[in-house]
Homo-oligomer: A and B are copies of this chain.
Amino acid sequence: VVNWFRRERKRVVAPRLRVRASGNKVSNKVDLADLTPDLTTFLGKAAYVQLMIFENLGRVVSTAPSVDAKTMLSEVAGFALAKHRGLVAEIESRGTDAATVMKPFVGEVDSFQRMTQGNDWYEAVATCYLSAGFLNDFLVRLAGGVTASAAPRILEILESESGDALLERELLGLVQGNPRLAARLALWGRRLVGDTMLIARWMLRPTENHDSDEARIEPVFTELIAAHTRRMDALGLTA
């Protein structure tokens, strides 16, 4: 597995930013429009990634050490499931079978899920917050390249509530006064961002022009990493 974002760049390409025209929540954010795959691929990958996020949340619900945590995490799981189901409905409204559309992407996403599942409940919750947070942001950017009439519906699904504030509060409660756990989750968060960027990159449609792709990707990922750093900072963890 190539840790692409650390590799040496051969030349400097001035990034060409794209500014979203619409007035919605993520306006003024650069997006990845030219690298958005065809609609079916996009929906299949996004739906299966949301299903994975839901599965991770389901696992931390099951293994939560308190009823408070269970209750809060089940609410967050509902948000991820709503995104998955919304995307499945979108796929099915096009007369295609959701499982068939998702199937080609199972291997890659399942492998990512295994790598990022964490060594215990705390790391698994951090994955649900940090990695899912990154992927949710990324999918909104990538959806900027959907040109079909379904685009507003898809964006609405992907921009819907993710429960970030709930996860942040839970994690903050866990790391406060527990510097050992904080140190461990800081390390885990740094590892997560690498793996998460790889799976995000896998969702892009590669074009013929590799340098141009890199120039397109760079500013978006810079922004997504900044958001990741803010999530880590909010927990008092060093990104």
Contact = CB atoms under 8 A, between A and B. Distances in A.
The interface residues of chain A, by DSSP majority, are classed as helix
Interface in A29-81: 48, 51, 54-55, 57-59, 61-62, 66-68, 70-71, 74-75, 77-78, 81
A106 interface: yes
Given A62-B59, A81-B78, A106 B67 contact: yes
A174 to B, nearest CB: 16
Contacts of A48: 67
A103 B62 contact: no
A157 to B, nearest CB: 14
A190 interface: no
Interface residues of A, number: 28
A85 B75 contact: yes
A104 to B, nearest CB: 10
A187 interface: no
Contacts of A66: 99
Given A51-B74, A78-B81, A81-B81, A99 B68 contact: yes
A88 B71 contact: yes
Given A58-B58, A59-B58, A85 B78 contact: yes
A126 B108 CA distance: 29
A66 B77 CA distance: 21
Contact of A81 (B62, B68, B77, B88): B77
Given A74-B54, A75-B85, A77-B81, A102 B62 contact: no
A84 interface: yes
A193 to B, nearest CB: 24
A74 B67 contact: no
A75 to B, nearest CB: 7
